[in-house]
Structure 1
Amino acid sequence: MRRTARLLTGTALAVGAVGLVVTPAYGVDGGGDGGGLEVYPSSVVPGGQVTVNTADCGAGGSADGDASAVGAGSFPLAPGGHEQEAGGQFRVPPSAQPGTYEIVATCADGGRRVTGDLVVTLTAARGQVHPRGSVKTGVGGALGADPVQTAAGVAALAVAAAGGTWLLHRRARGDGI
């Protein structure tokens, strides 16, 4: 039994380690030792402008971009001055549906294919949104409209707690209930 448990634990650890080694970074899938296709912003509303960059096509390299998954069609990536990256832009169509789409660029020299993810949402991301107001559960709040009822409820709970404590104390002493 112990040997089986060790074998299963060792197998699970080995599979987990392999999973960590082959998992790509979020939003970037370059296939190789390059940086992949950077998509900015990574989350956009329909009708928004998107910029893509890649350093995987080499210094002064260009690429053909494909955003047809989201309905934007193809676009060029030209060499730019930003850290020897090729860059391009496209606009997400206003009819685009929410979801995650793969954007692809194929390098002009060598045909290397790099990809990145674009998330289309219905609302623009403006930082973290904090909830406001109260939760409507149908139970009511601790300090409702009537403080007399609140005080009566607190008193009832205190009496029940005191009575329960007294009964447990009597039982522990052996007096019975």
Structure 2
Amino acid sequence: MRKARLLTTAALAVASAGLLAPPAAATAFAAGGGLEVHPATVMPGSTVTVNTTACGNDGSASGDASAVGAGTFTLAPTAHKETAVGRFKVPPSAQPGTYEIAAQCSGSGADGKQVVGDLVVTITSTAAASEQRQVAPKGYVKTGVGGALGPDPVQTAAGVAALAVAAAGGTWLLHRRARGDRI
């Protein structure tokens, strides 16, 4: 029993150490390496923004999106500390798939450092589908058959009154029949 408890405790310690360690990609980006691609999933014809902090202060980079057919682009320093940003357009002829986008730093201290990120091209827009809100229908439907709730309150009141008279008459007839009265 004691041996089983020790093995279980050891297994939990190993598992928790693995769970608490950050993923390798997150560690690489946190340490100043990595290329963020926004949005990460796009449709052909979309504009993509990439940024990196790997190039340091006042660093710029030369981007390469030729894998997806977009060619080269420039990442320039921004007002945000140590961030270089660039944009490119995915060609309308791009095929669905995952493409590696790269950037090579030039400038202060990080000259020649290369960072990469992934871009997923899809035919269906997951971003557009998630941004669409479903709107509940309002009003009435003009089918030509009519309806209880129309635009005319007088017709609605007349319909309600007719239903009330029919219900009262049916109740009166059922009551007379139950008592055995003849009509």
Same fold, TM exceeding 0.5?
Answer: yes
Residues 6 and 117 of structure 1: CA distance in aligned 2, closer, same or farther (over 3 Å): farther
Query: Over residues 73-129 of structure 1, what are the superposed CA-to-partner deviations in whole Å (9 max), with x where a residue is unaligned?
Result: 322212222444211111112222223322221211432222222221212222256
Where is the helix percentage greater, Structure 1 or Structure 2? 2
Aligned match of 1:14: 14
- Deviations 1:48-94, CA, capped at 9 Å, x for gaps: 11111112211110112122332223222122224442111111122
- Aligned partner of 1:48: which letter? S
- Counterparts of 2:28 and 2:81, CA distance in 1: 17
CA contact (8 A) 2:40 2:120 kept: yes
State the Cα deviation string for residues 6-61 of structure 1 (Å, max 9, x = none). Answer: 43663465256336525145xx6745612622212222101111111112211110
Structure 1 stretches lacking a partner, 5+ long: 132-177
CA RMSD of aligned residues (A): 3.0
One-letter code of the match for 1:112? Answer: K
Deviation at 1:130, TM superposition (A): 8.2
25, 32, 35: which one aligns with 1:34:
32
Corresponding letter in the other structure for 1:122:
I
Q: Residue 97 and residue 118 in structure 1: after superposition, are their counterparts in 2 closer, same or farther (change >3 A)?
A: same
Larger-gyration structure (1/2): 2
Instruction: Summarize the Cα distance change of 1:8–1:94 in structure 2 as closer, same or farther, 3 Å threshold.
Output: farther
- Which ranges of 4 or more aligned residues in structure 1 deviate by more than 6 Å? none
CA offsets per residue over residues 124-155 of structure 1, 9 Å max, x none? 22225689xxxxxxxxxxxxxxxxxxxxxxxx
CA contact (8 A) 2:32 2:54 kept: yes
Aligned residues between the structures: 129
Q: Give TM-score scaled by structure 1 length.
A: 0.57
- Contact 1:30–1:37 at 8 Å: present in 2 too? no
Structure 2: any 5+ residue segments left out of the alignment?
A: 135-183
2:138 corresponds to: none
Give 3-state SS (helix, strand or coil) of 2:21's partner: helix
Distance 1:68 1:12 in 2: 46
**Paired residues for 1:50-129 under 5 Å:** 50-108=48-106, 109-124=110-125, 125-126=127-128, 127=130
TM-score norm. by structure 2 comes to 0.56
Q: Match of 1:14, SS?
A: helix
Distance 1:22 1:113, change over 3 A: farther
Question: CA separation of 1:15/1:100 partners in 2, compared to 1, >3 Å: closer, same or farther?
Answer: farther
Distance 1:96 1:84, change over 3 A: same
